Amino acid sequence: MECMPIDELRDLQYKSLKGLVSNLYGSNAFYRNRMISENVSPDDIRSLSDISKLPFMDKNDLRDNYPTDMFTSPRKDVVRYHVSSGTTGKPTLVGYTRNDIEFWTESLARALTSVGIGDGDVIQVSYGYGLFTGGLGLHYGAEKVGATVLPASTGSTERQLELMIDLDVTSIACTPSYLVHMGDVAKKMGIDLRKDTKLRKAVLGAEPWSDSMRGYIEKELGVQAYDIYGTSEISGPMFTECTEKNGIHVWGDTAIMEIIDPETCESLGPGEEGELVMTVLKKEAMPMIRYRIRDLTTVMDEKCKCGRTSPRIKRITGRSDDMLIIRGINVFPSQVEHTLMQIPELCGQYMIYVDRVGALDYMNVQVEMRPEAFSDKVDDMLKLKKRISSELKKYLNIAVEAELMSPGSLPRFDGKAKRVIDRRVL
Question: Shortest Cβ distance from residue 111 to ligand DLL (Å)?
Answer: 10
Minimum CB distance to ligand DLL smaller for 236 or for 274: 236
Question: Shortest Cβ distance from residue 263 to ligand DLL (Å)?
Answer: 19
Minimum CB distance to ligand DLL smaller for 100 or for 368: 100
Furthest C-alpha separation in the chain: 73
Minimum CB distance to ligand DLL smaller for 200 or for 292: 292
Q: What is the CB neighbour count within 10 angstroms for residue 63? A: 16
Question: Shortest Cβ distance from residue 61 to ligand DLL (Å)?
Answer: 15
Could you tell me the CA-to-CA distances from 124 to 21, 117, 136, 138, 153 in Å, in that order? 39, 12, 12, 10, 8
218 DSSP assignment: I
d(CA 360, CA 182): 10
Question: Shortest Cβ distance from residue 232 to ligand DLL (Å)?
Answer: 3
Minimum CB distance to ligand DLL smaller for 236 or for 311: 236
Question: Shortest Cβ distance from residue 150 to ligand DLL (Å)?
Answer: 16
d(CA 43, CA 361): 49
Question: Shortest Cβ distance from residue 153 to ligand DLL (Å)?
Answer: 13
CB neighbour list of residue 9: distance below 8 Å, 6 or more residues apart: 252, 253, 309, 310
Minimum CB distance to ligand DLL smaller for 23 or for 88: 88
The angle formed by the CA atoms of residues 123, 286 and 139, to the nearest 5 degrees, is 10
Minimum CB distance to ligand DLL smaller for 105 or for 349: 105
* Residues near ligand DLL (CB under 6 A): 84, 127, 133-134, 205-208, 227-232, 236-237, 293, 295, 316, 319, 325, 330
Phi first, then psi: give them for residue 124, nearest 5 degrees.
-95, 115
Residue nearest to ligand DLL (CB): 205
> Do residues 228 and 240 touch, judged by C-beta distance below 8 A?
yes
